[in-house]
Homo-oligomer: A and B are copies of this chain.
């Protein structure tokens, strides 16, 4: 890649980072072009060399945020193991992901039901593919031998919902203004583990719909 493209990518990165940083305390809909470029150290007009819209920047952030999410989920599903270990590992992975990708997670939580339709739909679609992936992984497990497609999907969605709300709760507990309360973080993780245990219990006794 020429030095040309490299510098352009660098500016693009600066814009994305600036947006991500500003979105820590506001939503996409209230973000301003000038605000972003100021934070990125560029002139307002430079923005339009990279994105037509702020919504476009938002969509770019969605794609970026979900790549790491998919990597994460595969890390959990790939390894086999007993139900208990799998639960512990899943919660650990969620916790680590929130810790290491806080701005991205916050962005997703904030814009999932936010005011910009394109972004909302992009997140929802990706979360759906996400559930499909979990469902496919569940189908391979022997314990779901005679589960219908529909029931598997339902279970996968339940897992994804639980993961999402756990991540959001962990995020809130970690925010600087709440002191990053570590006890609260552990309580949330513990609750998630219990909930997963309860679900896997229901799963073992499921007789089909």
Contact = CB atoms under 8 A, between A and B. Distances in A.
B115 A112 contact: no
Nearest to A109: B113
Given A109-B113, A168-B113, A205-B201, A191 B30 contact: no
A165 B168 contact: no
Contacts of A165: 161, 164-165
B202 A199 contact: yes
Contact of A114 (B27, B154, B155): B27
A140 interface: no
A63 interface: no
A: contact size bracket: 35 or more
Looking at chain A's contact residues, is the secondary structure mostly helix, strand, loop, or mixed? helix
A122 B117 CA distance: 25
A115 to B, nearest CB: 4
A209 B114 CA distance: 37
Contacts of A117: 177
A185 to B, nearest CB: 15
A163 to B, nearest CB: 11
A203 interface: yes
A157 interface: yes
6 contacts: A26-B29, A27-B114, A109-B113, A194-B209, A198-B199, A199-B199
